[in-house]
Amino acid sequence: MTHEPSQPPASAATDDHVLAAWLAEEAGRRLLEVREEGLVDRELKDAGDAAAHELLVALLAEHRPHDAVLSEEGKDDKVRLTSQRVWIIDPLDGTREFSEPPREDWAVHVALWERGAGAGAGAGAGGEGDLVAGAVAQPALGETFTTGAPPVVPLSTSESVRIAVSRSRPPQFVHGLARELDAQLVAMGSAGVKVLSVARDVTDAYVHAGGQYEWDSAAPVAVARAAGLFTSRIDGTPLRYNQDDVYLPDLVVCRPELADRILAWISDNDVR
């Protein structure tokens, strides 16, 4: 049976944080259903990507009809480059892990970028605009992380630094960085899950290079910033969203006290 979307909370009519969280949860519920349909491998991945994308696009058209949408699974409509507000969504991040039940390391990303936001406002400044709301649902964990009620990052419970890395394509340089920080590498799927692992005190930093797109990091970075975590490109410059080219290949998200050491090591070691 296909999940029928409920109505969003009344406050979602005017509160983008609430709408983002509701959208991510609705898509998450849909994805949990798709996972029960008996599909495997590529068919399961494709069905999940398509179902979550179609649901999110339909719900955004209904609830925010004037806003543009940039989705991993949709055509890149360049109208977004002149739009005031752009939803940047990854309907299913960690598609590989989604297709490996009962793994929990996959997510739904829903972010909102707004023109004029963040100008001159420090590390998060995006020039033309910036992220203003976001939610990351981790449906198999039953958790949604949102800018509306940002996670409170606990003090680190670990004696040593833990660095989240991709399961399938960790950047080569993280081994050197781990030696420098005397850190352990913690492999997991999904960019959103890795960013939120820092907020949840599962890790202390997420460092990635070598390829990614705006939708992989927009919503997680919005939530991480709201939670007080440090976010930047690996050269220390701000992560910029709603660019003409949506390739955004690298990032650092970490506890603020680790940022200087991580960026200094990366700079000294000519990492790309």
Q: Quick one: which segment of 2-10, 197-205, 210-218, 253-261 binds ligand A3P (CB under 6 A)?
A: 210-218
Closer residue to Mg ion in complex, CB, 16/90 = 90
The distance of closest approach from Cβ of residue 95 to Mg ion in the complex, given in angstroms and rounded to an integer, is: 7
Other C-beta atoms within 10 Å of 58: how many?
11
Q: How far is the CB of 48 from ligand A3P (least distance, A)?
A: 10
Q: Is 212 in the site for ligand A3P (CB under 6 A)?
A: yes
Inter-CA distances, 100 with 28, 138, 187, 189, Å = 16, 15, 15, 11
Minimum distance between the CB of residue 270 and Mg ion, rounded to whole angstroms? 27
Instruction: Please report how close the Cβ of residue 112 comes to Mg ion at its closest, in angstroms.
Output: 17
Closest residue by Cα to residue 205 from 245, 151, 263: 263
Would you count residue 72 as binding ligand A3P (CB under 6 A)? Answer: yes
Q: Does 74 bind ligand A3P (CB under 6 A)?
A: no
Residue nearest to ligand A3P (CB): 211
Residues 86-125 that bind ligand A3P (CB under 6 A): 90, 93-95
Give the chain's length. Answer: 272
Calculate the CA 234 to chain-centre distance. 17
| 190 forms part of the interface with ligand A3P (CB under 6 A) | yes
Q: Which is nearer to Mg ion, 18 or 88 (CB)?
A: 88
Sign of CA dihedral 90, 193, 11, 50: positive
Contacts of 43 (CB under 8 A, 6+ apart): none
HSE value, Cβ hemisphere, 13 Å, CA-based, for 96: 8
Task: Give the integer Cα–Cα distance in Å for 56 and 41.
Answer: 23
What span, in angstroms and rounded, lies between the C-alpha atoms of 253 and 153?
13
The site partner of 166 among ligand A3P, Mg ion, none (C-beta below 5 to 8 Å per kind) is: ligand A3P
Binding residues (CB under 6 A) for ligand A3P: these are 72, 90, 93-95, 166-169, 189-191, 210-212, 216
